[in-house]
Structure 1
Amino acid sequence: MRISAEEAGEQRSVGDRMLLILDTVATSPGEVGLSELARRTGLKKATVHRLATDLVAHRMLERGGYGYRLGLHLFELGQHVPASRRLRATALPFMSDLLTATGEIVQLGVLDDTDIVYIEKLTGRNSVTVPSSVGSRLPAYCTGLGKAILAFSDDTAVERVTSAGMPSRTGTTITDPRRFHRELAKIRDTGIAYDREEGTHGIVCVAAPIVVESYVGRDGNRAVAGLSITGPARRMQPARLGAAVRTAALSISRLLGYPLSR
């Protein structure tokens, strides 16, 4: 790939700049114009234009009426990630059953650094609008999926989340690390996590971890993903759905071939 003399003076590699452009477009709710993309990435407009043109040619980006959006080839590549593909294929029948039974949103997510990344989402007749979508991220500390996974993660993962800060998003968000640790201890006992309008006003969630066999030398299990049902607080009663979500998560864990110790 060609690089200009001007660009050679910049500190980032071509690959770094391409990933920066993709990450910036990915975190935008809609299309991103060229000038805005240059401003948000801190790259020269000419650099953004040249790299974005190459990304469009490889279908990593698409040109819309206003600017750039993610391209279909990124989705195609994602389907070839072995762990994600197997997890989604195993979970989908159970997610479909939960959707049929409740009519509420059913989601599958994994922990990445301090965030939950949503890798599957099913909506039904009763579904309402929520901030999550497939491929999107939300802070782990204020989501049912995040708490379910963190309760069955190692101390390093939990410390990373609490150290990053837990700002209040609603009046019920848990922001105190000590209280958060107590919440995780309860989840380890029950295998069920709740989001009590902690991330979004009016939205509640019940979640359970999908676990693997414990690390050598450690007690308990390690979560590789989480399964949840999400709906409006005015209608959904998470406590009544906890057993169903937990049973589905346990079934997925067993089918993935990971024995459980509890």
Structure 2
Amino acid sequence: MGKDGVDRLAETTGETARLVVERDGYGITLHQATSADRNEVQTYLGTRENLHSTAAGKAMLSVMDNEHKDIVSQVQLSQHTEHTIVDPAELREELADIRSSGIAFDNEEQFDGVRCVATAITTDTDDLLGAISVNGPAERIDDAMFYKEIPQALQNVAGVIEINTAYLGWMEQTTENLT
């Protein structure tokens, strides 16, 4: 369902959608889909990126940090653009906001001229699976799309992925109990 959800997000929003996982303190793109009429992709499958400067990375950090680990002190806060958060206290504050809303924003923090919105995907026990994101040029993603339309689409798809993950886990457990 994750791949299908990402593909649907790209078509629904008309932008690039990604499925990202955390590995060794970096975000890794596992799947990416771009709307048929767009060709501004700045990331590729297997792309490795800092967590603090992307919406997907911050969404994952918010879940990881919520597990009472001081994950921020373990992350290299390198500057990518003039908008990148490099102050640990400011990043911790933003992660708390992300935990509250479930939505992370990258307003030209990873790439100049690119806006991105993401949400974490977790299991029914709140273990981190990854994140899904939608990004595109700032000139095309206006505030209404950035703060309302894309977050709503992301939360809908993430909810379906999380339900499917919980259901598959339940099915596996039920099958094991029957044998």
Q: TM-score, normalised by structure 2?
A: 0.83
* Residue identity opposite 2:159 in structure 1: L
Question: Structure 1 residue 108 and structure 2 residue 19: aligned?
Answer: yes
User: Partners in 2 of 1:93 and 1:185 — Cα distance?
Assistant: 30
User: Any stretches of 5+ residues in structure 2 without a counterpart?
Assistant: 168-179
Q: Superposition pairs for residues 219-234 of structure 1, below 5 Å? A: 221-234=126-139
Matched-pair contact (CA < 8 Å) for 1:113–1:157: no
* Equivalent position of 1:255 in the other structure: 164
Question: Structure 1 residue 167 and structure 2 residue 78: aligned?
Answer: yes
Question: Which entry has the higher C-alpha Rg, 1 or 2?
Answer: 1
For each residue in 1:118-170, what CA deviation from the matched residue of structure 2 results, as whole angstroms up to 9, or x when unmatched? 000001134343431111101111011101111111343724xx434212111
For each residue in 1:97-136, what CA deviation from the matched residue of structure 2 results, as whole angstroms up to 9, or x when unmatched? 2122111001000011221000000011343434311111
User: Partners in 2 of 1:252 and 1:164 — Cα distance?
Assistant: 28
Matched-pair contact (CA < 8 Å) for 2:10–2:34: yes
Query: Higher relative contact order by CA 8 Å / sep ≥ 6: 1 or 2?
Result: 2
Question: Structure 1 residue 241 and structure 2 residue 153: aligned?
Answer: no
Question: Structure 1 residue 158 and structure 2 residue 71: aligned?
Answer: yes
Q: Superposition pairs for residues 69-108 of structure 1, below 5 Å? A: 90-108=1-19
User: How many pairs are equivalent?
Assistant: 162
Q: 1:126 to 1:185 in 2, by over 3 A?
A: farther
User: Any stretches of 5+ residues in structure 1 without a counterpart?
Assistant: 1-89, 215-220
> What root-mean-square deviation, in Å, do the aligned CA atoms of Structure 1 and Structure 2 show?
1.8
Matched-pair contact (CA < 8 Å) for 2:121–2:129: yes
User: Partners in 1 of 2:61 and 2:7 — Cα distance?
Assistant: 25
User: Partners in 2 of 1:190 and 1:164 — Cα distance?
Assistant: 22
Question: Structure 1 residue 185 and structure 2 residue 96: aligned?
Answer: yes
Q: 1:122 to 1:99 in 2, by over 3 A?
A: same
Displacement over 2 Å in runs of 4+: 125-131, 154-157, 162-165
* Residue identity opposite 1:238 in structure 2: F
Matched-pair contact (CA < 8 Å) for 2:52–2:75: no
User: Partners in 2 of 1:247 and 1:113 — Cα distance?
Assistant: 28
Which structure dedicates a bigger proportion of its chain to strand?
Answer: 2
Q: 1:249 to 1:110 in 2, by over 3 A?
A: same
* Equivalent position of 2:112 in the other structure: 201
* Residue identity opposite 1:156 in structure 2: K
Q: Superposition pairs for residues 2-151 of structure 1, below 5 Å? A: 90-151=1-62
Q: TM-score, normalised by structure 1?
A: 0.58
Matched-pair contact (CA < 8 Å) for 2:32–2:44: yes
* Residue identity opposite 1:199 in structure 2: Q
Question: Structure 1 residue 176 and structure 2 residue 87: aligned?
Answer: yes
Aligned to 1:142, what secondary structure does the other structure show? coil
Matched-pair contact (CA < 8 Å) for 2:20–2:130: yes
